[in-house]
Structure 1
Amino acid sequence: MCCSITLSSALHDYSSLAVCNSIPPYAILSHTWGADGIKKIQFCGEEAAKDGLGYFWVDTCCIDKSSSAELQEAINSMFQWYAKATQCYVYLEDVSTGGLAQSDLSSQQTWKLMFQKSRWFTRSWSLQELLAPKSVEFFSGEGLLLGNRISLMQEIHDTTGIAIEALQGSPLSNFSIAERFSWARKRTTKPAPDGDTEIYELEQRSRGI
């Protein structure tokens, strides 16, 4: 189901293709699954409001995982949902800034070690969530902005092996299939591997689909 949540907490269903092609600007959340789902939903809504976006999308609310048909549709559509988002927020609940203020983050490097070891980088679905959106911002478990895909480009490259040019937004058709497969090879997911799905989505993206 293609849906979004407004800042008033109303759930909007954009199931039809016609509506999905004319949806309003929205933010989207990328995260690893954990116990405190409400906190992440609130976080996404607050960040969307700061960016002047009246809608945001969170998979835990907008996908009925009890329906195999809806889940499969979501898997097939996920890349485009992230690609069409105005802003993607990556919430890294296993990265702590240790009580630092936002203004102190640039001068303290300890959080960068945690950033590069975050389990988010080991999940296969996060590959498309990293490369598909126009803009990606990373946040600590405390909700502090760590940086974006460009400012943290070197750390992301060192961690994932993804080419700098790809992180900068270069068309994926510029990279061989073998290289794209290498970006997903060490990633895992639960309950079943979906690395092939990730590569399929990347190939569709490279063809401009």
Structure 2
Amino acid sequence: MRLINTHTLKLEEFHGSIPPYAILSHRWETEEVTFDDYPTQVDLPSDDAMKGFRKIRYCVDQAKKDGLDYCWVDTCCIDKSSSAELTEAINSMYAWYRDSVICYIYLSDVSTSITAVDSRMDDETAALLHYEIGSSQWFRRGWTLQELLAPRRRTFYNASWSKIMDLDKPDGRVSRVESRSPAYQLSVGLTDTIAIATGISKDVLKTFSSTSTNWSVALKMSWASNRQTTRIEDVAYSLMGIFDINMPLLYGEGAKAFLRLQEEIMKTTYDHTIFCWSDPSATCFIRFVYGDLAGSP
């Protein structure tokens, strides 16, 4: 695993024992910093060099504030020119998010912040925050599912890296659950907004484990429905960690990847809900198909 040292800013490789680290979840946009783009010098270039450096700097600075010596950003910590490294990374991705100390979720299309919430925050501002978060494109990504469910602690930040909320605490500034301050109430409400945006209940958001049998195959697939990935194969590859399976990556196989995913799932479970899916192309309103594999989540 390759990590960014938050003090030297250099990339370091680890095998076996991995030090505590923060991890970033974000959307790939223009001017991302790849492994080949990452500088070998100590200082990161200015934001004018490539826009992707800004979020890397945000992540590094926050990890350092949180007392962590390392952080991980997928854009520059994976050498995607190596098919072997890419395969290992995608098969390990769920575990990397799960084993992180904290996951920083960067919503680049959200501008409103909760950091200044107090008794004077009006309903209109609160409504705008809920709307912006629920409308964020981050929630539409295929890879978001494991990046949201795997980490033990998840903190959301807006476009300027102002803290929105800590999903795993009532609010970072509220020390006691019994404190019913406006900040606490709004934070709880944002958890509802995230549950609505993802289709995942608050209980699952708090307790999910890929090895648990508490949630059926069909339910997990429903969380993945209507999500988008750039590569069609990633519809399947982004779900491997959710179902606790591993399989080779074959970019170019297209929709066959999702069929392989289902075959691997059937090797590990007797859950027949994998066969319970609806065909949107059927002439009737809904036709439930039993005994065959679905073409997509």
Give me the whole-angstrom Cα distance separating, in 1, the residues matched to 2:27 and 2:59.
Answer: 14
Kindly name which structure, 1 or 2, has the bigger radius of gyration based on alpha carbons: 2
1:139 aligns with 2:157: yes
Which residue number in structure 1 is paired with residue 116 of structure 2?
A: 103
Q: Which amino acid aligns with 2:9?
A: S
- Unaligned segments of structure 1, at least 5 residues: none
Asked which structure has the greater RCO (Cα within 8 Å, sep 6+), the reply is 1
Which residue number in structure 2 is paired with residue 125 of structure 1?
A: 143
Question: Which protein has the bigger helix share?
Answer: 1
Which residue number in structure 1 is paired with residue 282 of structure 2?
A: none
Specify whether residues 105 and 93 from structure 1 end up closer, same or farther in structure 2 by C-alpha distance, changes over 3 A only.
farther
More displaced stretch, 38-47 vs 2-11: 2-11
Give me the whole-angstrom Cα distance separating, in 1, the residues matched to 2:99 and 2:114.
Answer: 32
Which residue number in structure 2 is paired with residue 186 of structure 1?
A: 226
How much does 1:30 deviate? Answer: 0.4
Which residue number in structure 1 is paired with residue 4 of structure 2?
A: 5
How much does 1:202 deviate? Answer: 1.0
Q: Secondary structure at the match of 2:58?
A: helix
Give me the whole-angstrom Cα distance separating, in 2, the residues matched to 1:155 and 1:170.
Answer: 18
How much does 1:142 deviate? Answer: 0.8
Q: Secondary structure at the match of 2:18?
A: coil
Out of 68, 76, 87, which is 1:72 matched to?
A: 87
Q: Which amino acid aligns with 2:204?
A: A
Specify whether residues 201 and 39 from structure 1 end up closer, same or farther in structure 2 by C-alpha distance, changes over 3 A only.
same
Q: Which amino acid aligns with 1:102?
A: T
Specify whether residues 120 and 193 from structure 1 end up closer, same or farther in structure 2 by C-alpha distance, changes over 3 A only.
farther
Give me the whole-angstrom Cα distance separating, in 2, the residues matched to 1:79 and 1:54.
Answer: 21
Out of 101, 109, 114, which is 1:86 matched to?
A: 101
Which residue number in structure 2 is paired with residue 28 of structure 1?
A: 23
Out of 194, 202, 212, which is 1:156 matched to?
A: 194
How much does 1:61 deviate? Answer: 1.2
Q: Aligned Cα RMSD in Å? A: 1.9
Q: Which amino acid aligns with 1:47?
A: Q
Give me the whole-angstrom Cα distance separating, in 1, the residues matched to 2:194 and 2:233.
Answer: 22
How much does 1:113 deviate? Answer: 0.7
More displaced stretch, 101-110 vs 113-122: 101-110
> CA contact under 8 A between 1:90 and 1:138: conserved in structure 2?
yes
Give me the whole-angstrom Cα distance separating, in 2, the residues matched to 1:169 and 1:50.
Answer: 27
The alignment of Structure 1 onto Structure 2 pairs a total of residues equal to: 198
Give me the whole-angstrom Cα distance separating, in 2, the residues matched to 1:30 and 1:40.
Answer: 10
> CA contact under 8 A between 1:185 and 1:195: conserved in structure 2?
no
More displaced stretch, 88-97 vs 141-150: 141-150
What's the TM-score, normalizing by structure 1? Answer: 0.88
> CA contact under 8 A between 2:149 and 2:208: conserved in structure 1?
no
Q: Which amino acid aligns with 1:56?
A: C
How much does 1:186 deviate? Answer: 1.1
Alignment of 1:52-67 (within 5 A): 52-67=67-82
- Unaligned segments of structure 2, at least 5 residues: 31-50, 169-186, 246-267, 269-297
Q: Secondary structure at the match of 1:102?
A: coil
Aligned residues with identical type, % of pairs: 42
Specify whether residues 51 and 163 from structure 1 end up closer, same or farther in structure 2 by C-alpha distance, changes over 3 A only.
same
